A and B are shown apart, each in its own frame.
Chain A
């Protein structure tokens, strides 16, 4: 069954603005991962946050995790046209494989 649900489904912003995407999940997790998918391409791993972590940074990316609310957010600061892609959260619970959400389609307009 689907675990992660991203919100919003689609987001359109101007270059230079920040983009925030949210992910909610249902069961307890070991970790949560964010991936990016450019049109017609495979997914690329962005960042992993473990269940005992609250925040992680990687370049212009900031991920937060709130296990009490079963939610995570991905913030992309100072967005660029090249950030246009779909962004997926994926959760790992127990020994089961990663379960991906439906993704957020981000459009960054130059």
Chain B
């Protein structure tokens, strides 16, 4: 069984479009995350979210917004896509996000290409 799943795996779209990436975890974890990995493999936290608190990386444009319909899902919505948004986006989850003492489980990633 897949612990953290993301859809789609690949997403190719035109500049200016709005798109969403879905993430689901079946681990019963309290906290979920979104990361962006650029072409140089640098992994940057975008959001962390549990049922109590959303922490936003201040460098993330407000065109990006997380939506959590329930504890097991954290979807990423991106409005007005730009060329620089092209990257691989990873969803992750952990049991205890406040202390971070537990490991994070990552999804397989979504490769977004903006043309």
A residues engaging B (CB < 8 A)? 2, 30-31, 33, 35, 37, 40-45, 48, 50, 86, 88, 92, 95-100, 102-103, 105
Contact = CB atoms under 8 A, between A and B. Distances in A.
B103 A97 contact: no
Contact of B43 (A30, A41, A95, A100): A100
Interface in B21-74: 33, 35, 40-45, 48, 55
Contact of B45 (A30, A37, A44, A99): A99
A103 to B, nearest CB: 5
Contacts, number: 60
B109 A42 contact: yes
A33 B103 CA distance: 8
A9 to B, nearest CB: 10
B99 A30 contact: yes
Residue among B43, B97, B108 with max Cβ neighbours from chain A (10 Å): B43
A45 B33 CA distance: 15
Contacts of B7: none
A42 B55 CA distance: 22
